[in-house]
Amino acid sequence: MSALTLERMRADVAGMLGEVPEDIGDDDNLMDLGLDSMRVLGLVLAWGNTGIALEFSHLAEHATLGGWWGVVQRLQARAAAGA
């Protein structure tokens, strides 16, 4: 399993929205861009396959890619410390 990166997250979000990754800013409100809860759930499932204990509730607390990346970094650090 490879670590989840900000670049992959941006590309996956952009793919869900039919946009190019460069159009998704760290501070853009993803819900305003058209991301809905079903798409977020799909992302959680895909990203969970990278070995972190990511849950929908973790992302639901944030509306930006930057916020999500902060959550992922904390989960990756926690997973590394427990390994």
Report the percentage of the chain scoring pLDDT > 90.
82
Residue 1's pLDDT band, with cuts at 50, 70 and 90, is low
CATH class of 6-82: mainly alpha
Whole-number Cα distances in Å, 18 to 15, 21, 46, 75: 5, 9, 17, 28
The answer to whether 68 touches 55, Cβ cutoff 8 Å, is no
Tell me what pLDDT residue 82 has.
80
Going from N- to C-terminal start, the domains of the chain cover 6-82
Model confidence pLDDT, tens digit, residues 24-64: 999 999 999 999 999 999 999 999 888 888 999 999 999 99
| Distant-in-sequence, close-in-space partners of 60: CB < 8 Å, separation ≥ 6 | 37, 40
